């Protein structure tokens, strides 16, 4: 959740954080730094555009960031 910038598995907490997320600032950098600290090596941005991939490159150049916006992009991941 972007509200806390840390993972959670508590369903009650997730419900509350989902509500807060709609009106809170996005903590994208902190969220990605948390994932990197947990061992993230590869990130896949799904949807049109490549903004998040660009952000990830600025956060940690060692993470392999890929964008998939079309079916052919997804197919190329499995090759």
**Residue 31 and residue 53 in contact, taking contact as beta carbons nearer than 8 Å:** no
**Residue 7 and residue 34 in contact, taking contact as beta carbons nearer than 8 Å:** yes
Instruction: Indicate the pLDDT class of residue 79, thresholds 50, 70 and 90.
Output: low
pLDDT tens per residue across span 18-43: 999 999 998 999 999 999 999 999 99
**Residue 17 and residue 27 in contact, taking contact as beta carbons nearer than 8 Å:** no
Closest CA to 31 of 60, 2, 51: 2
Helix (H) or strand (E) holding 65: strand 64-68
């Amino acid at each position: 959740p972007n509200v806390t910038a840390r993972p959670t598995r508590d369903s009650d907490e997730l419900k509350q954080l989902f509500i807060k997320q709609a009106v809170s600032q996005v903590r994208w950098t902190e969220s990605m730094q948390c994932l990197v600290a947990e061992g993230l090596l590869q990130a896949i941005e799904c949807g049109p555009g490549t903004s998040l991939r660009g952000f990830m490159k600025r956060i940690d150049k060692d993470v392999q960031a890929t964008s998939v916006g079309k079916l052919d992009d997804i197919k190329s991941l499995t090759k």
